[in-house]
Amino acid sequence: MDGPQVWRCGGFALDLARPLVMGILNVTPDSFSDGGSYIDRDAAVTAAVRMLADGADVIDVGGESTRPGAEPVTAVQEAARVAGVIAALAEQGACVSVDTRHALVASEALSAGASIVNDVSGFTDPEMVRVAADSDAGLVVMHMRGEPRTMQEAPAYADVVAEVAEFLSRQAVALERAGVARDRIAIDPGIGFGKTTEHNLALLRRLPELEALGFPVLVGASRKRFIGEITGVVEPQARVAGSVAAALEAVRRGAAVVRVHDVAATVQALAMVRAVEEEAHAR
Ligand code: HH2
């Protein structure tokens, strides 16, 4: 099947001929103590520059932890955390994404130079749709069941893949109706957001059903709890191999973008897969 060729994100036309790597930059108090100060901004920017050098195509900047059980921060606090980092990276020519559920944060991030709005609540807030429609940014529509604080309390679906696909397709249509060009939209099953390990595995295995909706598919499995459950590796930082394997599987089943913490390891693994595929095409 011929999927989309480019993903239009502000001034960038991201080429989907090969899988894109989105590096995760958390500007949250647990990663960079008291976000917003210059020292922390510098530390965040240095980490992002490293990811770009390692081969990241996009840097996803987040100022709110959406880990299961995390307490929400105010939109004003969140915007203050991310805006300076985004401005510094955009100034260096990076394609920057903002990971937020709040229209105010998205709007300030776009003013600071972000090219993508990554909304884990899937553009369910009309205000967020308005911000998106008034911009030329790329958009990531993610599926989440419930709220971060409560989403892991016994999530249940009749058919998780069908329900996620239905939601993503409905939200994409709503964005298009609001005036967003189709080639700006990417979709994401939201691995770990109101899903059990079995749900996450079903979504990964049946990713072609999401790809069939005709939008680039983004997958964020990196270091997530289901990898720990499957492998018994407790420390998230030690789940690199499991995360790389999940990223490769996602790409093999149609993901156009993988959202990862371990950029260098993922880029290296994708290069090997690509080399083997190119050998097959050279025949
Ligand atoms: N996962 C997290 C945050 N944002 N965005 C998209 N599009 N897809 C994802 O799977 C996704 C996301 C997980 O967030 P958190 O638990 O805060 O940790 P981290 O940002 O380090 O992954």
Better-predicted residue by pLDDT, 69 or 234 = 234
- Is the pLDDT at 267 greater than 60? The verdict is yes
**Residues 274, 73: Cα–Cα separation, whole Å:** 41
Q: Residues 1-6: what's their mean pLDDT?
A: 83
- Helix (H), strand (E), coil (C) string for 29-51: CCCCCCCCCHHHHHHHHHHHHHH
Mean pLDDT to the nearest integer, 183-212: 98
Which domains does the chain carry? Answer: 6-282 (3.20.20.20)
Q: Is any ligand 1 atom within 6 A of the Cβ of residue 225?
A: no
Percentage of residues in the chain with pLDDT exceeding 70? 96
Pocket test of ligand 1: the residue of 21, 66, 203 to mutate, having most ligand atoms within 8 Å of its CB, is 66
User: Which candidate in 81, 145, 206, 259 is catalytic?
Assistant: 259
38 pLDDT tier (thresholds 50, 70, 90): low
Identity at 36, one-letter amino acid code:
G
Runs of H (alpha helix) within the chain: 38-53, 75-91, 103-112, 126-133, 160-177, 197-205, 207-211, 225-231, 240-252, 263-282
For residue 105, what pLDDT is reported? 98
Q: How confident is the model at residue 6 (pLDDT cuts 50, 70, 90)?
A: very high
Q: What is the pLDDT of residue 201?
A: 98
- Point out the catalytic residue in the list 195, 206, 224, 253: 224
The reported pLDDT for the residue numbered 197 is 97
CB 64 near ligand 1, within 6 Å:
no
What pLDDT, on a 0 to 100 scale, did the predictor assign at position 139?
A: 99
Q: Is the CB of 247 under 6 A from ligand 1?
A: no
CB 28 within 8 A of CB 35: yes
Question: Over the stretch 128-181, which tens digit does the pLDDT of each residue have?
Answer: 999 999 999 999 999 999 887 777 777 899 999 999 999 999 999 999 999 999
Atom of ligand 1 nearest to the CA of 64: 17
Determine whether the shortest distance from the Cβ of 258 to ligand 1 is under 6 A: no
Instruction: Reply yes or no on whether the pLDDT at 113 is more than 50.
Output: yes
State how far the Cα of 9 lies from the Cα of 23, in Å rounded to an integer.
Answer: 16
Q: Is the pLDDT of residue 33 over 50?
A: no
